[in-house]
Every structure is written in structure tokens, then in C-alpha cells.
Amino acid sequence: MAVLDHVREVERAGLCGATGRDDYAVQSWRRCLTEYRLDPAAKCEAVSLPEGRLKEHRQQTEATIMITRSGLDRLYDHVSGQDYVLLLADRQGIVVEYFGDPRQSRELQRAGLYLGTDWAETRAGTCAVGAYTATGEVLTIHQSDHFDLFHTPLSCTATPIHNTAGALRGGMAEATIVYDYIVYDYIVYDYNVEKIPDSLSDEEAALVEPAAVAVYSCDRGGLRVGSSVLVTGAEPIGSLTLLAARAAGAGPLFLADLNVSRLAFAWTVLPDTTTFNPKRDDNGEAVRAATEGGVGCDVALECVGNEHGLKACLDAVHKQGVVAQSGLYRHENPLDWFEVTFKDVDLRGAWAYLMHYWPRVIRLIASGALPAAKIVTGRINLKDAVAQGLENLLDPAAQHLKILIDLNG
């Protein structure tokens, strides 16, 4: 396309005239003209970040790079013979990972198809990465759709990489993009997917992931039939852990939390559970008083990430008992290590769950052995997610335990 023809078409689009191009391309042209004050007659070569700034961007997206690298490697294996290039860009439009033919690195770097290139719409004009970061839409920019004539030899597509829940990887903090010449809307391996049986409702399916955390916590605790168990934290994970412990045949069961409403709710779900409020009860003394010989419980599961909860677990277990920690801490947690040594306690971490747990958890829920849906206390529409969802759950005296959001409502 001649420079003059391109400039005239861009000007016509800026004046809301017809162009025959996709609307998202036209809207990007208008942003380039009115918001960024870019010149459609200019030919600006791709700009690469200095090494120091690129390092900062890569550090900020390090987790996503690690997670996606294997999948992108496999994807590139399928398309490399056709001279395609894959770029992984962060939300600012900076390329943080690159997959291309190393023999063409000089040409690719000049074209901007390389590590460290800045594809932000504010600088590069209309391009797939830039238009996506500006709009959030999955789109394709064909050759002369580009605002800057330097990029018209390219045709490119931008699409987000989602996590298994369907959300953008990293949420609002980090919208990760695959930038290439062809469309790949979703990358997921078969071993990350488990078919939901007809016997499982949508609500129950929504609880498989947190229930897997609970089941793994119980496994790490080494529960057996008849094990006496203390769970600290009556929030969703703690409540599911209590149900998972019962499914494993554990008992008696003890539950500690500061929220009186949640303790009362847990008692309605499992009436034979003994509940404690640390504000008025000494958890260790109460557990010892309710166990054989007054020695304490076999296993304590800390599910809320509270240092006082962990100390209560250590106090409550008998000698050579097990304490499993699944709650996450935001800071270092001081612990009486003399007590750990003196009681010969087995202190274990429980990080989320193993990847092969989902089929087992699905079977437990579907069979009724793990009635996970019992922890659901509310159902709301997406538009009410903040006012009736988050705000309710953030209240320290919250009446709700688990609120599900109907995305179709």
C-alpha cells in the first residue's frame, strides 16, 4: 500500500468514514490519531527495551513464563517449519519470551518479533498486542491494518492464556498474551482436564478445587479411621477439611475459630463436632479434656494461616502427634521449637494438592462421602459479586461461609 493511500484511509477512519476494515482496527486507528498523536505517514522501527528494563519485566512475569514455557515450546514445534514466530508479552505489551528461528534472529529483531520489543499501542500504533492490551479483545491485525507502515508486512494475532478456571493468568496484575501469526485461543493439556460426571452438579463441580486442598491436608496429616483431629479455621477450606476428615473416618473432631456464626454453622453440618472459640477457650486444654487419657489429639490441621492457630495445634496434639499446615502466612511465624522437639511432633507442610487428586475428589463428592455443597451459604449473580459477595465475606463477623456466583445471572 502506498503511503499516501494509507494516510488518506486513516484520515477517513478518523472522520468516521467507511473503510471496510474490522471495527477494532478502525477504533485503534482513531486512538492512535486522537489519543497518542501518532503519524500514519511515519515508518518507525520496532523499539527494544534496554537490558535492565527488560529484566524487570521478566522478573514480574517470571511465574507465568515458567508455567507457559512448556506449552509454548510444544506449540512452536508444530508451527516452526512454517516460519511462524511466537511471542509472550506482558500486559504492558513488552515481549518477555520469544520462540523463533535463531538463524533469522537479526531479521526478527529488526521486525520487532524478538525479546524485549515494546508493542504497546501508544508507541507501536495498531498491532495485535497493542490493540489487545488496550481493549481486552482477542483479535487479528492483518498487514495493512497496522497503523505504522513499517509493520505492514506482518499479520498477527493476540489471544490471552487462561488458567484452568477460565480467568486470565495473573488476573488484572498480569494479562499474558501469545503473539503470533495464527490463532490459538486456548492452551491446556489433557492431564489438566477431568470430565465432570452427570452425577455431579455444577455447584459441586465448583467446589472440587478447594475440596482437593482439604483432602490433601488430611492426607498430609496421616489421618486414619478413628484419628482424633483438631482443625483451626472454620472458613471454607477449614470446613471442607473437617468434612474430608469425617469422610476418612476420623473422630472425634474439634474445630476452633473466632467467628461464632461459622462455628455454629459447622455444628449444624457435623453436629458431633466439638467447637472452640480461642477468645474464651484454651484450645489445648479443651482438646486434652475431650480425648482419651487427656493426652491430646492425634492430628491437628492448621487451615487459616494464623500463627496463634499453629501454636494451638502444637499445644493440642499429643506426643509424636502430627501437625499439618495448609494455611498460608504473609510473614515469618515464631514457633516454640523446644515444644516441637520435646513433644517429638511431626510438623508437615501441605501445599495445595497434587495434580492427580481431582478424579478422587470428584468421586468422593459424587458419592456423597464428602458433601462439599453443605458449606455453600449463598448464591448471587455476577453483578452483585462485590456488594453481596466480597464485602460480606470480608466482614470478620460474617454470617456467610461460601458464596457461589452465577455467571449466567
**Domain boundaries 3-190, corresponding CATH code:** 3.30.450.40
CATH 3.30.450.40 range(s) for the chain read 3-190
Tell me the average pLDDT across 401-406: 88
- Give me the sign of the Cα torsion angle 170, 179, 76, 21: positive
Cβ atoms 180, 158 nearer than 8 A: no
| Entry pTM | 0.57
How many CB atoms lie under 10 A from the CB of residue 97? Answer: 20
pLDDT over 70 percentage in the chain: 91
| Pairwise CA distance, residues 350 & 258, whole Å | 23
To the nearest whole number, what is the mean pLDDT of the chain? Answer: 85
Residue 138 has pLDDT above 80, yes or no: no
Q: pLDDT of 233-270, one tens digit each?
A: 999 999 999 999 999 999 999 999 999 999 999 989 99
Please, what is the angle between helix 208-221 and helix 236-247, to 10°? 60
Tell me the average pLDDT across 281-291: 93
Grid coordinates representing 274?
A: 466439638
Cβ atoms 301, 237 nearer than 8 A: no
User: Between residues 292 and 46, which one has the greater pLDDT?
Assistant: 292
Structure confidence at residue 139 as a pLDDT band (50, 70, 90): confident
> Any idea which fold 202-373 has?
Rossmann fold (3.40.50)
CATH 3.40.50.720 range(s) for the chain read 202-373
* pLDDT value for 69: 76
How many CB atoms lie under 10 A from the CB of residue 79? Answer: 16
